[in-house]
Amino acid sequence: MTTEQGGVHEYRLFGLDLRSQIALPELEPRTLGGAGQVEIRLGDVAGPADGEALAAMPDGIVLSIENVARYRISDGRQIVVQPEPGASGRNVRLFLLGSAMGMLLHQRGILPLHANAIDIDGKAVAFMGKSGAGKSTLAAAFLDHGRCILSDDVCAIVREGDGFVAQAGVPRLRLWRDAVERTGRAVADCEPAFDTLDKYTLPVAPVEHAEALPLAAIYLLARDDADRAPEIRRLSGFAAVEALIQNTYRGSFITQFGDPQPHFATCLALSQRVPVFALSRRWDPDVIAATVTQVEAHVAQWQD
């Protein structure tokens, strides 16, 4: 693995203090001055005999990614990484900061939505949806419209007082080649997101002085092939709760290894305190700018 490994590196991600033996250039280094809440280290990780991709072992949950690494996630406090021979540091870090951290968030009782979060006037607005729903493409349009990215792909939600906050995630956007080129950027200026994919990482500046922002609204992205303007409608009751459950990042981890009741209770409380909307729009690059304008106006109207 080519990732730098010397010493101990300190970071903050999803509201958690990380102490890592693996350098994580995707994150801004921090000086924590404490033991840290999460330890990331290199070590041997025993996998299940049947080679399952995800399995419960006596010392934690083991995630096995073929030709990349095995990750053991324990008690929401530790991730042990055993890279496969020849695996690139980029690929190892991708699953470390994605699926492995998602499992750790579940273990800590933090809700990770499969969503991007944007800073709109000091409030977090999240756009959730399955892979391919256009979350990052829309986030890039907000970025080019002068908005800051709070999180990409994984949006960690935590209850705070009477509401919820969205924690700052990895300051980046991952876009397919065509999406990068539509923004006017060249893929030659971007790092590949994964060695075998035509997908690229667009670095973004972290939200200044913000580790978390109050969550103002959540939009569920949906495709609409009709030739009309983007449509926004509020989801209520079970429809809102179901949307949050269905768009929980690595939600299958809960059904396999956790208790679904606390997850349901969190999604219910979130739907009651933060409005959830369905955003339907044409799958057309020409309407992305109009979608950004419409969402900004909708957020401002809702907050008023």
Domains of the chain: 9-107 (no CATH), 111-303 (3.40.50)
E-strand ranges in the chain read 9-13, 16-20, 38-42, 54-57, 60-65, 69-74, 78-83, 111-120, 123-128, 148-151, 154-160, 163-167, 172-176, 191-192, 199-203, 212-223, 231-235, 276-281
- Cβ atoms < 10 Å from Cβ of 75: 11
Look at residue 256 in the predicted model and tell me its pLDDT: 81
Residue among 36, 43, 4 nearest 18 (CA): 36
pLDDT tens for residues 55-92? 888 889 999 999 999 999 999 999 999 999 999 999 99
pLDDT tens for residues 179-231? 888 888 888 888 888 888 899 998 787 776 678 999 999 999 987 776 777 78
Given a cut of 50, the residues of the chain with pLDDT beneath it are: 1-4
Question: Is there a contact between 217 and 277 (Cβ–Cβ < 8 Å)?
Answer: yes
Tokens in use for 272? 């009651």
* Phi (first) and psi of residue 194, to 5 degrees: -155, 145
Look at residue 3 in the predicted model and tell me its pLDDT: 45
Look at residue 34 in the predicted model and tell me its pLDDT: 66
